[in-house]
Homo-oligomer: A and B are copies of this chain.
Amino acid sequence: MRIRKEDGAGGKYMMDFLKKHVISRFDSRAGEIALSDLDDSSDFDGYAFTTDSYVVTPPIFPGGSIGSLAICGTSNDLAVMGAKPAIMSMSLIIQDGFTVENLDRILDDMAGWLEKINAQIITGDTKVVEANIGIAANTSGIGLKNKHLERNLEVVREYRSYPYSWVRDRGLAEGDAIIITGNIAEHAAAVMASREGFGFELDVESDVYAVWLFLKHALDTGGITAMKDPTRGGIAAALNEMAEKSRVGIIIEEERIPIGENVKSFCDVLGLDPMSMANEGKVVMGVVADQAEDVLKTLKKAGQKDAAIVGHATSEFEEVVVETPIGTRKVLPPPVADPIPRVC
């Protein structure tokens, strides 16, 4: 048997692969979160801990680079737990012959984002290889508990019991509003359109962004019960994971899903489903219903002007269901794999 692209593509095949080969051997926990929970980060001694390797092609794309991804992506996996990104490691695998100019641009992007989120790289590693990988970057990140997270948990607990010390995928409950913090599918679309020889113009940049910069304000408003960073597998994967882990259904109103006109046309023409395409600066969150409008207001004030309440959690069924403007309903299944490989 051989490894297939789908085994690393963020969808159902990857989950099956991880369960069979990785979790079966390594499952353990050092704190509240087990490896098998497949949350965005794990934890130990009150710190959040996560890792991600980036293999995007091309490594420099409209709106950013693998350097922006390496800092934003890993810090986002911490931020959606409510953790303040603080300490990172950085490891590069560089192809012999990669240009120093491109490397410098990538490292500049890293340094810029680190400064914005006030995090630091304290340990690293570099390997040079002959394989035609261009550049691959790994960052591992350590996140801290903080007053924004504590405030959020306080507000949630005014409404119901919440037995977690981080914001967990499994924290969603019936009635919680579902918020998407901005226009979807922009990262995958921008990277795809920038590929050499693609022959399709698209005036969209990647949405790569460090979500901690707005999440800390949303946490201060409080009431967030679950969050995910919808990268590989997109919104469809994130919603399905949240629903499954929380044992609730989710109903989404199709016309409320924020998406830019040009990305929508791009997807229509190419037959791509934007719901399963990667984002790199967005969050899908569940919020206690009474707090949802306030959290939305805070997100908009913090620059996420396209943020929207798109639906709510329900105990009517256990799937993710999308309701069209004319009232018909269809199940949104977890994607089997990301439609566009190597976007992150």
Query: Using a CB–CB distance below 8 Å, which chain A residues touch chain B?
Result: 1-9, 14, 17-18, 21-22, 25-26, 28-31, 33-35, 41-44, 49-55, 86-87, 89-101, 103-104, 107-108, 110-111, 114, 120-134, 136, 138, 140, 142, 341-342
Q: Are A26 and B134 in contact (CB-based, < 8 A)?
A: no
Closest 8 CB pairs of A and B: A8-B128, A51-B89, A140-B140, A42-B122, A1-B100, A42-B123, A138-B138, A131-B133
Q: Taking each of A55, A99, A341, which has the highest tally of chain B beta carbons within 10 Å of its own beta carbon? A: A55
With contact pairs A128-B9, A132-B131 given, residues A4 and B96 touching in the complex (Cβ less than 8 Å): yes
A127 surroundings in chain B (CB, below 8 A): 8, 53-55, 342
Q: How far is the CA of A95 from the CA of B341 in the complex (A)?
A: 13
Q: How far is the CA of A136 from the CA of B129 in the complex (A)?
A: 10
Query: Nearest chain-B residue to A132 (Cβ)?
Result: B131
Choose among B1, B52, B111, B131 the residue that contacts A25 (Cβ–Cβ < 8 A).
B111
Query: Nearest chain-B residue to A131 (Cβ)?
Result: B133
6 of the cross-chain contacts (CB-CB < 8 Å) are A4-B96, A14-B126, A17-B126, A93-B93, A133-B133, A138-B138
Q: Are B133 and A129 in contact (CB-based, < 8 A)?
A: yes
Distance in angstroms from A138 CB to nearest chain B CB is 4
With contact pairs A108-B25, A111-B26 given, residues A90 and B134 touching in the complex (Cβ less than 8 Å): no
Q: Are A114 and B26 in contact (CB-based, < 8 A)?
A: yes
Distance in angstroms from A261 CB to nearest chain B CB is 31
Choose among B30, B125, B133, B341 the residue that contacts A87 (Cβ–Cβ < 8 A).
B30
Copies in the complex: 2
Q: How far is the CA of A136 from the CA of B123 in the complex (A)?
A: 19
Distance in angstroms from A93 CB to nearest chain B CB is 5
A124 surroundings in chain B (CB, below 8 A): 18, 22, 26, 35, 51
Q: How far is the CA of A4 from the CA of B130 in the complex (A)?
A: 10
A5 surroundings in chain B (CB, below 8 A): 96, 128, 130
A30 surroundings in chain B (CB, below 8 A): 86-87, 120, 122
Distance in angstroms from A168 CB to nearest chain B CB is 14
Q: How far is the CA of A21 from the CA of B98 in the complex (A)?
A: 14
Query: Nearest chain-B residue to A2 (Cβ)?
Result: B97
Distance in angstroms from A297 CB to nearest chain B CB is 33
Distance in angstroms from A10 CB to nearest chain B CB is 10
With contact pairs A25-B107, A138-B91 given, residues A121 and B44 touching in the complex (Cβ less than 8 Å): no
Choose among B50, B53, B86, B100 the residue that contacts A123 (Cβ–Cβ < 8 A).
B50
Q: How far is the CA of A122 from the CA of B42 in the complex (A)?
A: 6
Query: Nearest chain-B residue to A129 (Cβ)?
Result: B55
A21 surroundings in chain B (CB, below 8 A): 100, 103-104, 107
Distance in angstroms from A154 CB to nearest chain B CB is 25
With contact pairs A8-B126, A98-B2, A124-B22 given, residues A87 and B35 touching in the complex (Cβ less than 8 Å): no
Q: How far is the CA of A25 from the CA of B96 in the complex (A)?
A: 22
Query: Nearest chain-B residue to A133 (Cβ)?
Result: B131
A98 surroundings in chain B (CB, below 8 A): 2-3
